Amino acid sequence: MNALEIIKERYNNSASANDSSKPDIAFIGLGNMGAPMAENLLKAGYKLSVFDLSEAATQRLHQAGARVADSPKDATNNAQVVITMLPAGKHVHSVYLNDDGLLSGLPKGTLVIDSSTIAAADARMVADVANTYGIEFLDAPVSGGTGAAIAGNLTFIVGGSTEAYARAEPILESMGKNIFHAGNNGAGQVAKICNNMLLGILMAGTAEAINLGVKNGLDPKVLSDIMLQSSGRNWTLEVYNPYPKVMNNVPSSNGYKGGFMTKLMNKDLNLAMQTASETKVDIPMGSKAAELYDVHSVQHGDKDFSSIIARHDASIL
């Protein structure tokens, strides 16, 4: 048995000896991702108190059976676990660390799981403050978009202690299919942006290659099939071809609607740039992808990120 298995067994035994019921959860941030994640927790039998600045967002969860709180603090009354799914680092900072932030008021032993995508340095800072209050903090960003959030098959990439991870795993399993323990606090965020930086590079590169072929007379489907069986094969060619009508049921065949928005890819590439600069790591390919997505997101931020192919041929959009 490895350390994680031993801790899990100890935790499960003490949970069934004392109280086999599930912990009460406070869920803050009920947007495109948070709302379906919270709904899946309700379906799995967790008792939820929820808070969001948007009333429409809280109404959806009220109808699904959650208690709607008046404030983040109110949501955390009686909660043993707090989950946040917020837009960016500044929102996470304000919910946890501001004067009326949550960390100073939570009971010792509370488990805090932040699934927002934020800079690793920000996640480590919140974790450090949490630890001084005796609170366990995990950064647990997700891979997979709104479809995966609704279907409950997100990938969670978790940074934090083995003990906190063992407590969180059954909860995360109600919202996701693959749960990874990447390492200590911040490691979840680092792994997530490494993956998304690679995805941005692959998408921009695949779009560039298909465009080169098309401009030289090739059929995009024929070229895609050739590369799919050759050494250029990659995830974008397998399941997410950026050229219209090469593949069914992908954003490129649906006007680049749905999917993973360009502005979110742009955000993640900027987080990769920030992390690389703070740690003095050279990322020339990531920097180029960030530059391309920066420009593309000015006009097409709400379109799926595969629309980057339109920088070669605007008539595609």
* Residues in contact with ligand NAD by the rule CB under 6 A: 28-34, 51-54, 57, 72, 85-88, 91, 94-95, 116-117, 142, 145-146, 260, 264, 267
Q: How far is CA 123 from CA 48, 117, 160, 189, in A?
A: 24, 9, 10, 8
**CB under 8 Å to 216, separation ≥6 — which residues?**
none
* Neighbour-count burial of 5, counting CB atoms closer than 10 A to its CB (0-12 exposed, 13-18 middle, 19+ buried): exposed
Q: Which is nearer to ligand NAD, 8 or 51 (CB)?
A: 51
Q: Which residue is nearest to ligand NAD (CB)?
A: 31
For the bound state, the minimum distance from the C-beta of residue 115 to ligand NAD, rounded and expressed in Å, comes to 7
Instruction: Choose between 30 and 250: whose C-beta lies nearer to ligand NAD.
Output: 30
End-to-end CA distance of the chain: 54
Q: How far is the CB of 91 from ligand NAD (least distance, A)?
A: 4
Q: Which phi and psi (to 5°) does residue 46 adopt?
A: -80, 145
Least separation in angstroms between residue 293's CB and ligand NAD is 14
- When the beta carbons of 50 and 292 are compared against ligand NAD, the nearer one is 50
In terms of CB distance, is 67 or 267 closer to ligand NAD? 267
From the CB of 144, what's the least distance to ligand NAD, in Å?
A: 7
Rg (the chain; Cα; Å):
21
In contact, 167 and 157? CB cutoff 8 Å: no
Q: Is 215 labeled as catalytic in the residue annotation? A: no
Which tokens go with 60?
A: 């959806």
- Please identify, using beta-carbon distances, which residue of 51 and 243 lies nearer to ligand NAD: 51
| Least distance in angstroms from the C-beta of 6 to ligand NAD | 32
Q: Answer left, alpha or beta for residue 65, where phi above 0 means left and psi between -120 and 50 means alpha.
A: left
Separation of alpha carbons 242 and 239, rounded Å: 10
Q: How many other C-beta atoms can be found within 10 angstroms of the C-beta atom of residue 78? A: 11
Query: Which residues touch 74 (CB under 8 Å, ≥6 apart)?
Result: 49, 51
Q: Which of 43, 47, 108, 192 is catalytic?
A: 192
Dist CA 282 CA 10 (whole Å): 43
Give catalytic residue positions.
192
